[in-house]
Amino acid sequence: MEFRGPKALNDTLRWKIYAYALLASVASFAAWKLYSWRHPSPVIRSLAVLPLESLPNDPAQEYFADGMTDELISDLGQISALRVISRTSVMGYKHARKPLPQIARELNVDAVVEVQCCAPEMRCASRRN
């Protein structure tokens, strides 16, 4: 039996680690593909954009937020494959504190978009049901 030295052992160990890592990556990818094939993403055919909520509660910012809501609804309404609920229908939810899934059921839509804006930095955060 021939002694190959520590470098040869390190090279062999390194290749084994690479092989196991590659095998784990391939197995993870296969599991993800199998899961995503069995559980496809939900298709959104209808959408409601809740009135934008201005966080500082400044009346001037409320006016700005309402204008942004109108623009967002109008722009999304240009997508022919998407049914967007009208501004009149969603304005009743302006200060409503209902869960998004309940609002979606009441408006009969697949998704609800809720946006909160902070005017000084104009950062917006949104979430979907």
Tens digits of residue pLDDT in 25-66: 777 877 777 777 777 767 889 999 888 776 666 677 777 778
| 99 vs 128, more confident | 99
User: How do strand 123-128 and strand 111-118 relate by DSSP bridges?
Assistant: antiparallel
Structural element, H or E, at residue 20: helix 6-38
Domain coordinates of the chain in residue numbers?
1-40, 46-128
Identify whether the C-beta of residue 95 lies closer than 8 Å to the C-beta of residue 31. no
Tens digits of residue pLDDT in 88-125: 999 888 888 888 889 999 999 988 888 766 555 555 55
User: How do strand 53-54 and strand 111-118 relate by DSSP bridges?
Assistant: parallel
Instruction: Give SS3 for 128.
Output: strand
